[in-house]
Structure 1
Amino acid sequence: MRTQVGIVGGGPAGTLLSHLLHREGIDSVVLELRQRETVETTVRAGVLEHDTARLLESTGVGERMEREGAVHHGVELRFDGRGHRIDFSDLTGKSITVYGQQEVVKDLYRARDEAGSPPIFEAAATGFEGLETDRPKVRFRRGARFDPEAGEIRFADGSAEEEVECDFVVGADGFFGPSRQAIPGSVRKEYTRTYPFGWFGILVEGPPSTEELIYALSERGFALVSTRSPTVQRLYFQCDPDDSVENWPDGKIWAELAARLKSRDGSWKLEEGRIFQKGIVRMRSFVTEPMRYGNLFLAGDAAHIVPPTGAKGMNLAVADVRFLAKGLTQHYRDGSDGLLDRYSEVCLRRVWKASRFSWWMTSMLHAFPGEDEFQHRLQVAELDYVTSSRAASTSLAENYVGLPMDEM
């Protein structure tokens, strides 16, 4: 198989890149390990920065997002039982859009279907060749299924190894994919921060408790209230990352959330409903440098992970592939590699800024094991400053709605 750009990973990063390249007349092949149904039905958070939403609109895959997504003009920070709104529109003139990651992927798949080049699903990359040459290859096998119990990929009987020969390889296959490992350890440097807590998340069938996201700090720890749709709500609270969902019956969950989110005057009520999904998300920060090796480019979670507190994960992936698409377009249009040569440098500047913001939000809003009352009071003072100073509120708002992509 021959193409111009071989893309490993058919999530939002890889599929958006394929879509952007197609609009510029550049061919690509996308390999995705999972089944299409799995990708489309796995509910994932979807806080889209201002420029992310505008990019989807301008490239023809934002129609359903405009119709079904919820535009938010601020968030609430709640501490000491009082809510304080950060007004994005007033402070930055921008907004965010809440629209699930799986919905973004559905829209991108539909666009790739219409173009006649959807991802190849259940296709596992098995190796790479010639990454430092102008004809790199990606080896893969079809009929792949990941066995979570065995922790390995299994293949259908009779599946043979194939290869994609291309000009460039893009690894958008997440943290556990093989692309990053293809960069020699002597070249690759990795930075990791593991947080001593996780998020216990639930999906709830019921009415919304809030029109905008609520980030809450209490002496019991962090809590977050958000909305997925008019009938589905997503709520989180800080927990031990080694805890088990079996330890949390529904009644205990609602009691914990109510305790962390209660308002002093009793004016706010947490709406309950049928909990139909529970899970624990571990918290970590991760960055790998460089994001390019030869003609292999890393994008999205293959190169960086941030804690979800700052809502930056998918937005960073979008920024990566937006810049990469520009660089590849420049290469094929006039033979210049100026943007491609700057890919790692430019993207990492944004990655580290987003990592800083996500770390700051996480540190400000979570109870750390072993901390004393002094530390908690410092966090409250920080929140008090952020919500009472226009300059501090603007800094939070600018980062939350997203630093301008036009500067990339």
Structure 2
Amino acid sequence: MRTQVAIIGAGPAGLLLGQLLHKSGIDAVIIEQRSPDYVLSRIRAGVLEQVCMDLLDKAGVSARAHAEGLPHDGFDLLFKGERHRIDLQALTGGSRVTVYGQTEVTRDLMDARAAAGLVTVYDAQNVAVHDFDGAHPRVTYEKDGQMHELACDFIAGCDGFHGVCRASVPEGALHTYERVYPFGWLGVLADVKPVAHELIYANTERGFALCSMRSNTRSRYYLQVPTTDKLENWTIDQFWTELGHRLDPEARANLETGPALEMSIAPLRSFVAEPMRFGSLFLAGDAAHIVPPTGAKGLNLAASDVGYLWNAFADFYNDRSRAGIDTYSDRCLRRVWRAERFSWWFTSLMHRFPETGEFGQKMQEAELDYLVHSRSASTALAENYVGLPMDFGT
């Protein structure tokens, strides 16, 4: 079998790239080691920047996101028991974000790919990438007990942090940067009404909390917990009680409780791999970088990677230009490091760090006080939160 672009990974990055390439008349096959049900079962972020929405528009898969997504014009910072609103539209000249679950983005992309009759190989085992440093890259995998080979022009590694693509880069060709944080997020998804219309980011002496949502009837809540904490140490009742302790009186009064649809603990890390291109192999999304979820940059960064890669391939096949291919890594990394900086800063500002004690808490509160009372500081926060602008061209 042969294709123009072999995409490894059927998460939102791989599926979005496949759909954009299809719209540009470029053939792509997606290879995924998991089942479709497993891919859809992964509970992830749900705040989409305008850049991400624009790409969904270009891919022709944005109808449900526009119909069911929740446009948000601001969010609240909670510290010292009081909430302060960051007015995104006023501070950025009209920009906003859309709350729409990553699972739903994935579902929309899967449905569009199936409707178009495009090839996606699920449950592929022993996936390997070969000869991406030469003129004839290829992918091999096992399916139903038989080995298969896929010849291609390019390989897009959209297979996540633990995927095969980055792991296949020769030792010494890759430089990685990492910061592991001394806490994680205990998250609960529940069919209860959100405590507020917009997100609440809370800095408290008990630790960070986030009140988010997936719809007007489904909420997503998080608590900062030590990295040593275990899920079995928590009951859903204990979660609701602790969340209430970290909220202001109004939000606490509005807090509806109920059984958890999903409950998990996720570690937090910042990670970047450089470069993001190796011959005919291109890394995108979590395969190349991870951000802490504070500020919701993960999916949005993956989307911008895909936008650059789609443009690069479209220029190559339509105009025989390699400019986009040759500048892909540098263009992506400039945006990646800006998002890494923002996510690191916002995480450092909102979480309680064991080593800083009471002094660190007071410094955070002082910075938050300055942030909400300085229009310049609030504007910088808002501009980064809604996402820095991009010109995708094609």
Residue number in structure 2 paired with 1:243: 229
Rounded Cα–Cα distance in structure 1 between residues aligned with 2:119 and 2:107: 11
Give a deviation string over 1:158-207, Cα, whole Å, max 9, x none. Answer: x1221110000111000111100111111100111000000010111211
Aligned match of 2:383? 398
Q: Is 1:383 equivalent to 2:368 in the alignment? A: yes
**Corresponding letter in the other structure for 1:300:** G
When residues 86 and 268 of structure 1 are mapped into structure 2, their CA distance, relative to the original with a 3 A threshold, is farther
Identity of paired residues, percent? 50
Q: Does 1:321 align with 2:306?
A: yes
Moved more, 277-286 or 365-374: 365-374
Aligned to 1:252: 238
Match of 1:155 in 2: none
Structure 1 counterpart of 2:212: 226
Using structure 2 for the length normalisation, give the TM-score.
0.97
Which of residues 245, 248, 255 is equivalent to 1:262?
A: 248
Contact 1:310 1:400 in 2 (8 A): yes
Question: Given the alignment of the two structures, is residue 308 of structure 1 paired with residue 293 of structure 2, yes or no?
Answer: yes
- Residue 273 of structure 1: how far off its partner (Å): 2.1
Q: Assess, with a 3 A threshold, how the Cα gap between structure 1 residues 66 and 138 changes in structure 2: closer, same or farther.
A: same
The verdict on how the C-alpha distance between 1:97 and 1:108 changes in structure 2, with shifts beyond 3 A counting, is same
Q: In the alignment, what sits opposite 2:178? A: 192
Match of 1:154 in 2: none
One-letter amino acid matched to 1:314:
L
Contact 1:125 1:178 in 2 (8 A): no
Q: 2-side partners of 1:195 and 1:308: how far apart? A: 12
Q: Write the distance in 2 (CA, Å) between the matches of 1:392 and 1:3.
A: 49
The residue number in structure 2 matching 1:82 is 82
Aligned-pair distance for 1:53?
A: 1.1
> Structure 1 residues 276 and 106, CA, compared in 2 at 3 Å: closer, same or farther?
closer
SS at match of 1:320: helix
Corresponding residue of 1:162: 148
How far has the Cα of 1:300 moved from its partner?
0.4
Per-residue CA deviations over 1:66-90 (Å, capped at 9, x if unaligned) read 1111111111000001000001111
Q: Does 1:215 align with 2:201?
A: yes
- Mapping of 1:288-367 within 5 angstroms? 288-367=273-352
Counterpart for residue 283 of structure 1:
268
The answer on whether the counterparts of 1:208 and 1:230 sit within 8 Å (CA) in structure 2 is yes
- Cα distance, 1:126 vs structure 2: 2.8
Q: Count matched residues.
A: 392
Unaligned runs of 5+ in 2: none
Distance 1:306 1:179 in 2: 19
Cα displacement (A) at 1:133: 1.6
- Aligned in 2, Cα 1:22/1:266: closer, same or farther, shift over 3 Å? closer
By how many angstroms is 1:47 displaced?
Answer: 0.8
What is aligned with 1:53?
Answer: 53
Deviation of residue 268 (structure 1)?
Answer: 5.0
Residue from 369, 373, 376 that aligns with 2:354: 369
Paired residues of 2:307 and 2:392 also in contact (CA < 8 A): no
Q: Once structures 1 and 2 are overlaid, which stretch shifts more, 266-275 or 28-37?
A: 266-275
Q: Deviations over 1:48-70 (max 9, x none)?
A: 00121122123310001111111
Q: Is the deviation greater in 246-255 or in 305-314? A: 246-255
Q: CA deviation at 1:22?
A: 0.7
How high is the TM-score relative to the length of structure 1? 0.93
Deviates more, 1:163-172 or 1:366-375: 366-375
Counterpart AA for 1:49: E
Q: Which runs of 5+ in 1 are unaligned?
A: 144-158
Q: Which moved more, 1:372-381 or 1:355-364?
A: 372-381
Contact 2:284–2:306 (CA under 8 A) maintained in structure 1: yes
**Distance between the aligned counterparts of 1:251 and 1:127, measured in 2?**
45
Alpha-carbon deviations, 1:71-124, whole Å to 9, x = none?
A: 111110000010000011111111101111111011111111122114211113
Give the match's secondary structure for 1:179: helix
Task: State the shift of 1:267 in Å.
Answer: 8.1
Q: Secondary structure at the match of 1:66?
A: helix
Distance 1:345 1:16 in 2: 21
RMSD of aligned Cα (Å): 1.4
In the alignment, the residues of structure 2 paired with residue 118 and residue 12 of structure 1 have an alpha-carbon distance, to the nearest angstrom, of 16
Task: Specify whether residues 24 and 276 from structure 1 end up closer, same or farther in structure 2 by C-alpha distance, changes over 3 A only.
Answer: closer
Shift of 1:406: 1.5
- 1:271 paired residue number: 256
- How many angstroms apart in 2 are the aligned matches of 1:62 and 1:232? 21
